[in-house]
Amino acid sequence: MNTRIFKIALVLIITFNVSCKKAEVKLAEFKYADLPKAVNCNSGYDDLLSEALYAFEQDIVNKYDPKTKNKLRAYRAYISNYISNRTALEQTVTPHTKAVYDVLKSKQELWDGNHLNYNSTAITCIIDSIKDKGLQQTLNALKSTNSMNSEIFAPPLRSNTSYSRDTNLATFIALDLFYSKFNTIDFTTVDLSLNQPKDQPIDFNKRPVNAPVKQQKEEDHTGHNHN
């Protein structure tokens, strides 16, 4: 009898593990894997957090400064629009960024319901790694009093551009002011492909193909009288 119970329990455990593996969400493509690592938190998904940052930056550059592609200008525009509740995420999010979000959402420790979990191990590490110590202290003070939220955090960023030099702060902005707001979007009614940039990036490794030299058409002298 004990042997039978053991076998049943073993089968249940194996079935549970297999089903968990099947349910695990993975990102099909890392478009920015060759860029520097954004955070170093040993979360087990630091590479995903880096991808999340660079995908966010690409989206806001495409939305707010598609011609000159100035990242700082795009950040300022996004933060300003966020504070004014005019981000229009439905017109900003691209299919790749949505795919990144789907994987982020599967990391349960990152979230407290539909909100970012500021006390999670990964977010705590990111905040503690922010270079601007004044801003870092403010964030930790808000956390300690359970009063941290993006509406309080965003306004000071209008006069603080250290995110342009600090990928930890930039990652926190991406997670808190961008991805955590995706829960307000009904993606079944949005065509994200419309947000793809119209112009394709230049491939500097691609050699131009030499156009064939046009041969001059020889003049037909038939029937002409030449002396």
Taking the C-alpha atoms of residue 188 and residue 193, their distance in angstroms, rounded to an integer, is 13
Outline where the chain has alpha helix (H). Answer: 2-23, 46-64, 71-83, 95-105, 121-128, 133-144, 150-153, 167-177
Asked whether the predicted pLDDT for residue 5 surpasses 80, the reply is no
Residue-level pLDDT at 75: 97
Could you tell me if 110 and 104 are in contact, meaning their C-beta atoms sit under 8 angstroms apart?
yes
pLDDT band (50, 70, 90) for residue 197 = confident
pLDDT value, residue 199: 58
CA–CA dist 96, 31 (Å, integer): 9
Out of 26-35, 102-111, 128-137, 215-224, which region has the weakest mean confidence (pLDDT)? Answer: 215-224
Q: Are the C-beta atoms of residues 58 and 189 closer than 8 Å to each other? A: no
* Closest residue by Cα to residue 56 from 71, 73, 39: 71
CA distance 77 to 89: 13
